[in-house]
Every structure is written in C-alpha cells, then in structure tokens.
Structure 1
C-alpha cells in the first residue's frame, strides 16, 4: 500500500485481520520478517518508536500507552526529543493552546490516573498534535468522543491533511470513513483483499467488503418492556474519590427484568463512579441506596455482589476486564469460579474446556485457551470478556462501552448476545458514548451530566436531539427546581 502526502487513508478489516500488526510495524513496535518500508523515497529500518518519531511518524494506540502516575505534560514530554522540547519551550502552555484551539479539554497538570478513558484518549491525540508529524496513525481515535468532539477532530485532521500530513485512519465507524477518508485499504487474514474510494461507497457496501452480508442484519431490534424491578439505586450521593473525579448527586433509577437501560454521557461526567459503586470496585459502604431483588447490597463486597447475581464488564478491557499476562483460561476463572473450584482446588480441565467453549461460541480469534489476554486484538478480547460475564447467567449485567473499537461482525455478535440475555429475563445497564448504539439496543434511556442523572424515558419516546441536550445538562436546572418545590 502507498500513502501520498496529505492523503487520509482508511485501514479497514475485522478484528484480527492484521490492522494493528501492520501499523505497529510502521511505528517500529514490531519488526517485519520481510519486505520494505519506503519513507520519503528511501528504504528505512524502523527499529523502535523513537526512530519512527524522529522520522515524523506519530501514532495513537487503541490501548493507551500512558504512565498513570505522571501528569499529562510529563507523559507528552517523554515522547519528545531534546531539540523538540527546546523548540516548544513552554510545553504546558503549548498543550493549553492546542487544547483551546481544538476543543480537546486537556489539562497538562492533571495526573493520568485521575482521567476517564475518554480523557486519556484525548491525551494520546494531543501527544501527536504536539509533535510535527508527517504521518499520523490513528487506531480508533473517535471511539470515546462525543459527536461534537469528533467533528472537531475531523477539522484538525483535514487541516493537517491540507498542510501535507498523511493520515492513516483505523475505524469501525464506517460513516466516519465515508465522511473523512480519501482512500481505503481492506485487510482480511493478514492480506490486502481490496481497496476503494470511501466517498463513492456507503457504510453498508464497505461493511459488505469487510464481513459479507452479516453486517446488514444489525438494522434494528424490537423493544421490550417489563414491570418487575431487579435492581434499584435510590437517592445515591457519593463524593469523588480524587480531586478530578465527579461526585454523584441524588441518582435514582430502577433496572427492570427483561429490559436494557441505556445511559448516555460525555466521558468524565460520573459514569466511571457510578459503575464503580454499583460493581463494588468502590468499596465505600452505602446503606439503603443499592438493592438487588429488594435486598440491600450497599455494604457487600464485589465478590458478594456477584454471588447475588451481578456481572460487570468494565470500560477498560486490558487491566480491569482481563489481566494482560494471564491466559484466557485463567481470566475465565477470575470472575467465574462456580463449578470450577472445590475444597480450594481448581479443576483446570473444566476451566480450559469452558474457555474453549467461549472462544468458539463468540468466534474469538486467538491461538487457543492458553493465549495471553494481551495477545488478542481489542475486539476479540472484548468478545471473550462479554462471553465470560454473560455465561454466568446474571440477574443484573452492568456494561460499559461494549463495542468500543469492535468491528462490524463482532459488534453484531455482542449486540445479539446482550439481547438474548435480556430476553432470558436479565436486567442490563448499558453505559455508552455511542448514541446510535444506545438507540439500537436500549429499551429505556437516560443521560448523565456532572454527576446528575436525567429522567428515564422509553427509547421510542425520545430522540437524539433530546438525549444530546441532556448530555449537555439541560435537565439539571429543571430537576433542581422541581426538588426545591417538593421540599
């Protein structure tokens, strides 16, 4: 494949098709066994990312490469050479300037551990913007950005393109590809199998090139409405654990058996805190506010809540959803020990058999149940984690960003698995920044802003404009006025 100066080139394919391997080769993370990389007319040997950055190649990874105990500015400084730092001068000031210009809302003084997953993504994008890149590689850069932020990013990319910077754009959001990209290359099984001009295609025709007719089956699903409450949060107030977190303010909602409740919101508005307190990751006791089957669970540990029927798919797959250096079999056992452990002894044969079953059932592309979690592509790891949690037949499943960075075929499989679990009578809390996905899957919807939860409405009774306004907090003043009147 060839990239021209100023070209925005999409790299497309299913999870495991070889996209990440290809771009990691270009960026110097892995070395090719054969072939050539020609840069500005000369063959180059890109031995490491430092060499790539010296050439003018920058990359935003799907799995972030940030040090949590350092500030945003310190993380960005690590990627800059001494001459680059000297040329920039005031790095924090430059970050603030770019943040203001592009609407990325990146604070150079914040510690990375205090940032939400969406905010960390913006730091990765900022890290490349600070460098004078000639080729910018973006692996799922818009997965956790709002539509407004995506529009701002696209303005940035078009400006970089006009200035002669080449951009390699990996995305499973095919409407973005048709909107932004000049050309596209499609990979399957590690081989180049096609190319197209996205402006001359539709998302449906591109999806068909990638995965066949399967993509056309995710057009819409019937809504379901129940009446029996499985989980309740009542007047939940919770202070933020760190200075940059978001406090939850008087949050109340019910999860109904056989329904999916979707919660929309911009990253950093309390979603992480809400998931943590429900799952038990945040172990601060909360009496008389959290209930499963009308039984108070606010003082129970995360493990005890799981025994009550709660399952959890966190937003961060590698590190929280799965331990990177553990095999898929070992990761299965972490949250699914029932039937596999007796008198303190693990039945590893049964664990491996079950892991193999999950791999087959969810079409996880890997080398088997012995594969380390870190060796899987993001989408394949997500399918495995979803399968592991759904396989517990939970009463309540809380799930964050289930298809973030997942290809069309894998997203369809995850959607159908969630709907099957719902139809079996489970209650599902689905938190996502993908509004289209929420409207596709959720039976009822709400939005969160600055720790406040909007009214909950049936999906068929709302629209994207209203949810978008709620994401911006338009409901908060009305809600507070109503509460004051009732008081």
Structure 2
C-alpha cells in the first residue's frame, strides 16, 4: 500500500536547539498515528513542517508516494492536509465565521459558511455559535473552532496537536467517535497528545520522539501506560501524593456573587458562594464556557464590576480592587491562555518575570534590576525543567508545555497567600504534569489557598481537597473529593444538583 505521508531524514535546527534530527515517519491511509514525546521533543516543529508553516533544513516529504515541497499552509490545504494547532491562530476581534472564512477562497458567502459551520459542529457534537466573536470564547471553545475549521476542508490528513487538552471527558468521547469515523472513510490522522490513556484507546500506531529524534515505533494498544511513559521520558511518571490536611482560616471567600454579562456572549454569574481556606485546594469542574472565565476575572481583579462585599481576600472586601492591588497583597493567578495573557510572546523569559514579580527585589527606585530578574528566570528554568535557551529566550519560542511550566513556576515562586490557576497542566507531558501537581500540593502544604479550574477531572480528583462544579454561571455545593465520584461530578456538570435551577425545572 502506498503511504499517505512519508518523511525521510527530516532535520530542523534553530540557533539554540536541534528541534528535529533525522526524523522518519510514515502514515498510512485511514491510520490514526500518534506522535508521542515530552515537552520540547520536536513534535510540534515536525507537524509545522508537514503543514508548511516551517521549512526543513534537510530531508524529504512524500505525499501519496510523490516527493513534494509544502511551501505554505495554503499549499498544504490544497493537498488535503488540515491542522489543529495547540496554540490557536484566531483573530480575537472577528467572529467564528469570519475567522474560518480567512482560510477559504475569496467570494465565500458568509451566510452559507455559517450554516456549514453549524451543520459540521452539530454533526460531530461540537457545540459552537458561528456568530460569536472569538474574544468572548473560552480556550475550550476556541479549540472547537479550530477543529471545525479543519473538518470543513474534508482533509485527507488531519493533524491534531493536543486536541483534547481543554475538552471534557464527554467531549473527548465525541471527538474520538468523529476521528474513528474519519479514519474509516480513509482520512489519515496524526495525533499529538501527552495523555497516554487516549493514545492507547484511539491510535493504531505510535512514533516516539525524544530530543528531536525518533526513539521507537510501536502499537500503543499492546503497551501499558507505564511502558509508553518509559519510551517517552525514560522512566515512569513520578507518583503524586495527596495527603489529607486540616484546612486553616478562610483566605478567599465569595458571597452571593451575581454579575451581569460583560458582553452579549458572556455567561451571567448567579448567586455564587464558596470559601477557600489556607492549606486547601478547591477544585472547580465544568464544561468549558459555563462561567469559568467570568469567575476567574472577578477573583483576579480583571473584572471589578462585582459588589465590593461579594469577594473577600485575607479579611478584606476586594470586589472592586484591581488585579495589581490583589497581587501586591499576596494573590497570584495563572490564566488559561498562555500566550498574550500569561506571557508576552515577544519579551524574554526574564522580562516576563515582571508580569508578577514587582517588588523591591526586581524594581528599585524606579529601575528594573535586570540581573535579579535574569537570576529568578534562571532558577525557574532549572527548578521546573523548562527547555529554553536561557533567561533571555523569547517566551514565544518555547513549546506550549514548557511555557506552561515557566508560568506556573513564576507564580509558585512568589510564595503567594492564594493562587488561582486555570488549566494548570494544559499541554504538558506526564512527567511535567506530575511535577506541577506536586508543586501545587507543596504550596498547599505551606499554607497557600489554591483554587484550580480544570477540565481534567482526573487532575481535580488527584489534587483537590474539595470540589465544586460550575454550570451555566451557577456553582454546586462543595463536596469533599474523597466523597465524590466521576458519575456524580458528571451529573453536576449538566447543572443537575439538589436545589439547582436545572433540577427544579426537571421536576416541574
């Protein structure tokens, strides 16, 4: 059988790193082929070469047995190659439909395209509103836009870079059904993920990369998660130990928080109340787009429209206080968007320190202490195993997982009183995910109050002391993690808990 795609001896070098070193990869028609490797192994660079974003320094690319040179993403799409990037390529000020239209021929009618988008989204179970502006979408919803955009082109090869990193388990199941259907119709799929259980359940073949080289090819269904981990990082992932600890005083409290929409597509928050204690991790589960963004904006001080007494931090009413005021008093936060919100891509890692470390150690008498911010950046790089050229490397040059490790490290090293984190291990490999979770637990043990918003239910069950669920701008009662199970949390994610509006309407 003629392969759909074959890469021969592909190499790509950058000034500080060899991203790909003599890589061979073969994908057959109708095959779901995983590419597995730790952060910085060269997976995303290889995918960008296939999609025409980056040109290889050497090597050959074959498509249906014929050597080709993919000069641009437009040329890749003409061949029938579609790609869903880990970092989204969407314009915030345009609608979903307008963003998708940018990659289509001129003259495409937007009203017809909107119908196609809605039909495709419904066909594959991806909830999407074509008329919404992208800046109003959560990360999970942006991921759906990218997937639908790729599916609209009816690709012969679909590249998915961490497609489930912010999808719920229910959405992941629907996506897998979609991918299996596409494969049965002859579409080849290149699937990048750090989730070993997904690769074992979905993929026919797996190519493992480490340090820019291929270290093995296997059938993942015949492997265990432990054996895949050994192939990927040379060891089994570290064990994360969660030890119960009695909570201390309340550090962060929300009292009957209700807030109208900041824009037409926002989620209205309604009568939200919960507490987070020192030495506790409170996990918030929920389907993307149910008010997580809006709640985090209120808690962090990005949105100061709340009643002053609706949010309390360290004994003070802070509903109208700015993000800078809260940071200065010991609050830290990690947004779900890494580039543009969590870090400035054009600035160095050292310069990005100043987004959160603004005190006498980094700024003195109005002058930035460049040596100190470089030292801090270097410590984070070393402690969290960030693969980067050094403190002066641009944030935008890091792989998604390595940038996430750096941002988490930047906030953890502040030793905050309270830490708000959205999607803490989005796009990081199993070893790094275990390290991040261990660091969050260590921060909890040191007395920090942590609020973690995640669509990784396994992660929430692993690190949280208590859980709440957010659905349609309302929150469930809190439950001790030891007393919860996946079925209950899944039911609550649909808004069905005792006393909820959805439950009451179901009984009418």
TM-score using structure 1 length: 0.96
Which residue is equivalent to 2:350? Answer: 329
Q: Write the distance in 1 (CA, Å) between the matches of 2:62 and 2:311.
A: 59
Q: Write the distance in 2 (CA, Å) between the matches of 1:267 and 1:278.
A: 18
Q: Write the distance in 1 (CA, Å) between the matches of 2:218 and 2:477.
A: 44
Please give the secondary structure, in 1, of the residue aligned with 2:276. Answer: strand
Please give the secondary structure, in 2, of the residue aligned with 1:69. Answer: coil
Which residue is equivalent to 1:46? Answer: 70
Is the contact made by 2:227 and 2:236 (CA closer than 8 Å) also made in structure 1? Answer: no
Specify which structure has the higher proportion of helix: 1
Q: Write the distance in 1 (CA, Å) between the matches of 2:111 and 2:273.
A: 49
Is the contact made by 2:81 and 2:157 (CA closer than 8 Å) also made in structure 1? Answer: yes
Pairing 1:199–2:199 present:
no
Q: Write the distance in 2 (CA, Å) between the matches of 1:415 and 1:272.
A: 22
Residues 335/216 of structure 1: CA separation in 2 closer, same or farther (3 Å cut): closer
Residue of structure 2 aligned with 1:3, choices 16, 27, 36: 27
The alpha carbon displacement at 1:256 in A equals: 0.7
Which residue is equivalent to 2:476? Answer: 454
Q: Over residues 37-60 of structure 1, what are the superposed CA-to-partner deviations in whole Å (9 max), with x where a residue is unaligned? A: 001111111111111111110000
Pairing 1:251–2:272 present:
yes
Is the contact made by 1:452 and 1:476 (CA closer than 8 Å) also made in structure 2? Answer: no
What is the root-mean-square deviation of aligned Cα atoms in Å? 1.6
Which residue is equivalent to 2:10? Answer: none
Is the contact made by 2:476 and 2:500 (CA closer than 8 Å) also made in structure 1? Answer: no
Residue of structure 2 aligned with 1:234, choices 248, 255, 263: 255
Pairing 1:379–2:409 present:
no
Residues 330/476 of structure 1: CA separation in 2 closer, same or farther (3 Å cut): farther
Please give the secondary structure, in 2, of the residue aligned with 1:227. Answer: coil
Q: Over residues 143-167 of structure 1, what are the superposed CA-to-partner deviations in whole Å (9 max), with x where a residue is unaligned? A: 1111111111111111110111100
Which residue is equivalent to 2:56? Answer: 32
Q: Over residues 387-424 of structure 1, what are the superposed CA-to-partner deviations in whole Å (9 max), with x where a residue is unaligned? A: 11111110000000000111011101101110110010
The alpha carbon displacement at 1:476 in A equals: 6.3
Please give the secondary structure, in 1, of the residue aligned with 2:283. Answer: strand
The alpha carbon displacement at 1:225 in A equals: 2.9
Q: Over residues 214-249 of structure 1, what are the superposed CA-to-partner deviations in whole Å (9 max), with x where a residue is unaligned? A: 41524x422323131111111111111011110111
Please give the secondary structure, in 2, of the residue aligned with 1:154. Answer: helix
The alpha carbon displacement at 1:334 in A equals: 1.8
Residues 250/124 of structure 1: CA separation in 2 closer, same or farther (3 Å cut): same
Which residue is equivalent to 1:485? Answer: none
Q: Over residues 182-217 of structure 1, what are the superposed CA-to-partner deviations in whole Å (9 max), with x where a residue is unaligned? A: 000000000000111011112222112111334152
Residue of structure 1 aligned with 2:485, choices 457, 460, 463: 463
Residues 476/126 of structure 1: CA separation in 2 closer, same or farther (3 Å cut): farther
Alignment of 1:121-140 (within 5 A): 121-140=143-162
Q: Write the distance in 2 (CA, Å) between the matches of 1:82 and 1:294.
A: 58
Tell me whether 303-312 or 205-214 shows the greater mean CA deviation.
205-214
Pairing 1:278–2:299 present:
yes
Residue of structure 1 aligned with 2:466, choices 439, 444, 447: 444
Alignment of 1:348-363 (within 5 A): 348-363=370-385
Q: Write the distance in 1 (CA, Å) between the matches of 2:503 and 2:426.
A: 36
Q: Write the distance in 2 (CA, Å) between the matches of 1:89 and 1:227.
A: 56
Count of residues paired in the alignment:
479
Residue of structure 1 aligned with 2:79, choices 55, 73, 76: 55
Q: Write the distance in 2 (CA, Å) between the matches of 1:344 and 1:216.
A: 43
Which residue is equivalent to 1:110? Answer: 132
Q: Write the distance in 1 (CA, Å) between the matches of 2:494 and 2:503.
A: 18
Tell me whether 469-478 or 152-161 shows the greater mean CA deviation.
469-478
Please give the secondary structure, in 2, of the residue aligned with 1:235. Answer: strand
Please give the secondary structure, in 2, of the residue aligned with 1:475. Answer: coil
Residues 89/3 of structure 1: CA separation in 2 closer, same or farther (3 Å cut): farther
The alpha carbon displacement at 1:480 in A equals: 8.8
TM-score using structure 2 length: 0.92
Pairing 1:264–2:288 present:
no
Residue of structure 1 aligned with 2:332, choices 311, 324, 331: 311
Is the contact made by 1:292 and 1:308 (CA closer than 8 Å) also made in structure 2? Answer: no
Is the contact made by 2:238 and 2:434 (CA closer than 8 Å) also made in structure 1? Answer: no
